[in-house]
Amino acid sequence: MQACFLSMLALAVGTAPLLDTSDQIDGGATVVYTVSIVEGIDYWVVLGCDEPSADLDIVIASREMDFDRFMSLPYYEDFLYAGEFALASGTHQGSEDLTLSAPYTGVAYVVVHDIGETGGHYQLRIY
């Protein structure tokens, strides 16, 4: 496991990220990003929180998710809806670190939700 992590880290250090953002999220809020993925590629998704008490969850939702419906839902319901289309998800306490194996080429939605309702600053990178 550690060797796999080190291999992924070495690859990530030498590769420009697919997504690299640093942002602020309000307590209980949901944020969405759109990325283009390529079938057969494994992506490393890293979501880091600056605040020790922060608890952010993440879902990578497939193109099958109805974006307009997602946008019309209230906070948290939007995150639950995105989860119905999850290609990958992270729901651990605190920061997240997961792998997405792209099953198709096209759009995917990266949905971050402040499940801990504390808000705060975060960094999101996809390699």
What is the rounded distance in angstroms from the CA atom of residue 37 to the CA atom of residue 16?
Answer: 14
**pLDDT for 1:** 40
Segments in 14-125 forming alpha helices (H): 67-72, 77-83
CATH of domain 16-126: 2.60.120.380
The predicted-structure confidence for 3-48, as pLDDT tens digits, reads as follows: 344 345 445 456 789 999 999 999 999 999 999 999 999 999 999 9
Domain-wise residue ranges, the chain: 16-126
Token output for 84: 């119905």
DSSP structure string for 7-60:
HHHHHHHTS--SEEEEEEE-TT-EEEEEEEE-TT-EEEEEEEESSTT--EEEEE
Give the predicted TM-score (pTM) of the model.
Answer: 0.85
**pLDDT for 23:** 93
Residue 67 pLDDT more than 90?
yes
